Structure 1
Amino acid sequence: MFVETEQFAKELAAMGELEQQAAYEAVGRWFAENTDKITHHTHLHPVHTATTVRLDQGDPVVTDGPFVEGKEVVSGFAEVEVADLDEALALARTWPACPIVEIRPAS
Protein backbone atom coordinates (compact mmCIF):
# COMPACT_ATOMS: atom_id res chain seq x y z
CA MET A 1 0.00 0.00 0.00
CA PHE A 2 1.30 3.43 -0.87
CA VAL A 3 0.90 5.84 2.02
CA GLU A 4 0.86 9.55 1.42
CA THR A 5 1.77 11.99 4.19
CA GLU A 6 0.54 15.56 4.56
CA GLN A 7 4.11 16.77 3.97
CA PHE A 8 4.42 14.75 0.75
CA ALA A 9 1.07 16.09 -0.51
CA LYS A 10 2.17 19.67 0.23
CA GLU A 11 5.49 19.16 -1.55
CA LEU A 12 3.76 17.65 -4.59
CA ALA A 13 1.24 20.51 -4.72
CA ALA A 14 4.04 23.09 -4.46
CA MET A 15 5.92 21.63 -7.45
CA GLY A 16 5.83 23.36 -10.78
CA GLU A 17 4.08 21.68 -13.70
CA LEU A 18 7.29 20.21 -15.15
CA GLU A 19 8.40 18.92 -11.76
CA GLN A 20 5.02 17.26 -11.17
CA GLN A 21 5.12 15.74 -14.64
CA ALA A 22 8.56 14.28 -13.92
CA ALA A 23 7.30 12.85 -10.63
CA TYR A 24 4.33 11.17 -12.33
CA GLU A 25 6.59 9.88 -15.10
CA ALA A 26 8.85 8.29 -12.48
CA VAL A 27 5.84 6.44 -11.07
CA GLY A 28 4.86 5.32 -14.58
CA ARG A 29 8.40 4.02 -15.18
CA TRP A 30 8.32 2.12 -11.87
CA PHE A 31 5.12 0.35 -12.88
CA ALA A 32 6.50 -0.37 -16.37
CA GLU A 33 9.78 -1.73 -14.97
CA ASN A 34 7.94 -4.03 -12.56
CA THR A 35 5.04 -5.11 -14.74
CA ASP A 36 6.16 -8.75 -14.54
CA LYS A 37 5.51 -8.75 -10.77
CA ILE A 38 2.43 -6.52 -10.57
CA THR A 39 -0.88 -8.38 -10.85
CA HIS A 40 -3.17 -5.43 -10.06
CA HIS A 41 -2.85 -1.82 -8.96
CA THR A 42 -5.05 1.20 -8.42
CA HIS A 43 -4.88 4.77 -7.22
CA LEU A 44 -7.51 5.73 -4.65
CA HIS A 45 -9.45 8.99 -4.80
CA PRO A 46 -8.61 11.54 -2.08
CA VAL A 47 -9.59 10.65 1.47
CA HIS A 48 -12.33 13.33 1.60
CA THR A 49 -14.31 11.26 -0.96
CA ALA A 50 -14.58 8.27 1.40
CA THR A 51 -17.79 6.93 2.89
CA THR A 52 -17.52 4.81 6.03
CA VAL A 53 -19.98 2.19 7.24
CA ARG A 54 -19.64 1.26 10.93
CA LEU A 55 -21.06 -2.12 11.80
CA ASP A 56 -20.02 -2.26 15.45
CA GLN A 57 -22.73 -0.02 16.95
CA GLY A 58 -25.96 -1.97 16.49
CA ASP A 59 -27.55 -0.61 13.34
CA PRO A 60 -25.07 0.26 10.56
CA VAL A 61 -23.98 3.91 10.71
CA VAL A 62 -22.96 5.59 7.44
CA THR A 63 -20.77 8.70 7.57
CA ASP A 64 -18.96 10.81 5.02
CA GLY A 65 -15.21 10.71 5.26
CA PRO A 66 -12.54 8.23 6.25
CA PHE A 67 -12.87 5.78 9.13
CA VAL A 68 -10.11 7.65 10.93
CA GLU A 69 -8.58 11.09 10.43
CA GLY A 70 -4.85 10.97 10.07
CA LYS A 71 -1.79 12.69 8.73
CA GLU A 72 -1.03 9.60 6.64
CA VAL A 73 -3.49 8.04 4.21
CA VAL A 74 -3.38 5.09 1.86
CA SER A 75 -3.43 6.62 -1.61
CA GLY A 76 -3.23 3.43 -3.63
CA PHE A 77 -1.99 -0.11 -3.73
CA ALA A 78 -0.42 -2.71 -5.94
CA GLU A 79 -0.73 -6.46 -5.70
CA VAL A 80 2.54 -8.11 -6.54
CA GLU A 81 3.63 -11.69 -6.93
CA VAL A 82 7.01 -12.18 -5.36
CA ALA A 83 8.84 -15.15 -3.89
CA ASP A 84 9.17 -13.78 -0.37
CA LEU A 85 9.31 -10.73 1.89
CA ASP A 86 12.88 -9.97 0.84
CA GLU A 87 11.78 -9.59 -2.78
CA ALA A 88 8.81 -7.44 -1.70
CA LEU A 89 11.15 -5.22 0.34
CA ALA A 90 13.53 -4.85 -2.61
CA LEU A 91 10.62 -3.76 -4.79
CA ALA A 92 9.28 -1.34 -2.14
CA ARG A 93 12.69 0.28 -1.76
CA THR A 94 12.53 1.41 -5.40
CA TRP A 95 9.09 3.10 -5.14
CA PRO A 96 9.60 6.71 -6.36
CA ALA A 97 6.57 8.47 -4.86
CA CYS A 98 4.79 8.40 -1.48
CA PRO A 99 7.28 8.21 1.38
CA ILE A 100 5.74 5.14 3.04
CA VAL A 101 5.05 1.70 1.60
CA GLU A 102 3.23 -0.89 3.71
CA ILE A 103 3.61 -4.54 2.76
CA ARG A 104 1.03 -7.15 3.68
CA PRO A 105 0.56 -10.72 2.54
CA ALA A 106 -2.73 -11.50 0.82
CA SER A 107 -4.58 -14.76 0.44
Structure 2
Amino acid sequence: MPHLLFICSKNQWRSPTAELLFKNHAFHQARSAGTSDKARIRISQKLIDWADVIFFMERRHKDITAKRLNLTCKKQVILDIEDNYQFNDPELIGILKLALTDFL
Protein backbone atom coordinates (compact mmCIF):
# COMPACT_ATOMS: atom_id res chain seq x y z
CA MET A 1 0.00 0.00 0.00
CA PRO A 2 1.76 3.20 -1.14
CA HIS A 3 2.24 5.92 1.47
CA LEU A 4 1.46 9.51 0.44
CA LEU A 5 2.75 12.50 2.42
CA PHE A 6 1.30 16.00 1.97
CA ILE A 7 3.32 19.01 3.13
CA CYS A 8 2.31 22.64 3.56
CA SER A 9 3.33 25.34 6.06
CA LYS A 10 1.39 24.90 9.29
CA ASN A 11 -0.41 21.62 8.56
CA GLN A 12 -3.75 23.29 9.25
CA TRP A 13 -5.65 23.60 5.96
CA ARG A 14 -4.17 22.35 2.71
CA SER A 15 -2.22 19.24 3.67
CA PRO A 16 -4.80 17.94 6.21
CA THR A 17 -7.51 18.41 3.56
CA ALA A 18 -5.44 16.33 1.12
CA GLU A 19 -4.84 13.70 3.80
CA LEU A 20 -8.57 13.51 4.50
CA LEU A 21 -9.28 12.67 0.84
CA PHE A 22 -7.44 9.38 1.39
CA LYS A 23 -9.10 8.39 4.66
CA ASN A 24 -10.13 4.72 4.34
CA HIS A 25 -8.72 4.60 0.78
CA ALA A 26 -8.39 1.07 -0.57
CA PHE A 27 -4.92 1.49 -2.14
CA HIS A 28 -3.12 4.36 -0.38
CA GLN A 29 -2.37 5.61 3.11
CA ALA A 30 -1.83 9.32 3.64
CA ARG A 31 -0.37 11.61 6.26
CA SER A 32 0.32 15.31 6.38
CA ALA A 33 2.83 17.66 7.97
CA GLY A 34 4.04 21.24 7.93
CA THR A 35 7.37 22.99 7.54
CA SER A 36 6.76 25.72 10.13
CA ASP A 37 7.89 25.54 13.74
CA LYS A 38 4.22 26.25 14.52
CA ALA A 39 2.94 23.32 12.42
CA ARG A 40 0.32 21.05 13.98
CA ILE A 41 2.50 18.09 12.90
CA ARG A 42 6.02 19.12 11.92
CA ILE A 43 7.82 17.38 9.06
CA SER A 44 10.42 14.86 10.25
CA GLN A 45 12.82 12.39 8.74
CA LYS A 46 10.62 9.62 10.11
CA LEU A 47 7.67 10.87 8.02
CA ILE A 48 9.91 11.29 4.96
CA ASP A 49 11.19 7.73 5.37
CA TRP A 50 7.59 6.45 5.72
CA ALA A 51 6.46 8.11 2.47
CA ASP A 52 6.64 6.65 -1.02
CA VAL A 53 5.45 9.89 -2.66
CA ILE A 54 5.78 13.37 -1.17
CA PHE A 55 3.43 16.13 -2.31
CA PHE A 56 4.46 19.72 -1.59
CA MET A 57 1.79 22.39 -1.78
CA GLU A 58 4.37 24.95 -2.94
CA ARG A 59 7.97 24.83 -4.19
CA ARG A 60 9.15 26.65 -1.05
CA HIS A 61 7.91 23.72 1.07
CA LYS A 62 10.17 21.40 -0.90
CA ASP A 63 13.11 23.80 -0.58
CA ILE A 64 12.66 24.13 3.19
CA THR A 65 12.29 20.37 3.63
CA ALA A 66 15.30 19.58 1.42
CA LYS A 67 17.51 21.89 3.53
CA ARG A 68 16.53 20.10 6.75
CA LEU A 69 15.99 16.48 5.74
CA ASN A 70 17.12 13.82 3.29
CA LEU A 71 14.69 13.56 0.37
CA THR A 72 16.85 11.33 -1.82
CA CYS A 73 15.17 8.47 -3.63
CA LYS A 74 11.68 9.79 -2.94
CA LYS A 75 9.19 10.64 -5.66
CA GLN A 76 8.33 14.31 -5.18
CA VAL A 77 5.46 16.33 -6.64
CA ILE A 78 4.90 20.06 -6.34
CA LEU A 79 1.16 20.82 -6.50
CA ASP A 80 1.43 24.63 -6.78
CA ILE A 81 -1.54 25.25 -4.48
CA GLU A 82 -1.23 28.61 -2.74
CA ASP A 83 -2.35 29.25 0.82
CA ASN A 84 -5.75 30.71 -0.13
CA TYR A 85 -8.06 28.06 1.34
CA GLN A 86 -9.50 26.95 4.66
CA PHE A 87 -9.62 23.32 5.82
CA ASN A 88 -11.96 21.23 3.67
CA ASP A 89 -12.79 24.19 1.38
CA PRO A 90 -14.85 22.80 -1.54
CA GLU A 91 -12.69 24.68 -4.07
CA LEU A 92 -9.52 23.23 -2.51
CA ILE A 93 -11.02 19.73 -2.59
CA GLY A 94 -11.80 20.16 -6.29
CA ILE A 95 -8.24 21.32 -7.05
CA LEU A 96 -6.77 18.43 -5.06
CA LYS A 97 -9.03 15.84 -6.71
CA LEU A 98 -7.98 17.08 -10.13
CA ALA A 99 -4.26 17.13 -9.21
CA LEU A 100 -4.42 13.70 -7.53
CA THR A 101 -6.59 11.90 -10.09
CA ASP A 102 -3.98 9.16 -10.60
CA PHE A 103 -3.95 8.36 -6.89
CA LEU A 104 -7.64 8.67 -5.96
Relative contact order, higher structure (CA 8 A, sep 6+):
1
Which range, TM-score by smaller chain?
Answer: under 0.3
Question: If you compute each CA radius of gyration, which structure gives the higher value, 1 or 2?
Answer: 1
Normalised by the length of structure 1, the TM-score is: 0.26
Please identify which structure carries the higher strand content: 1
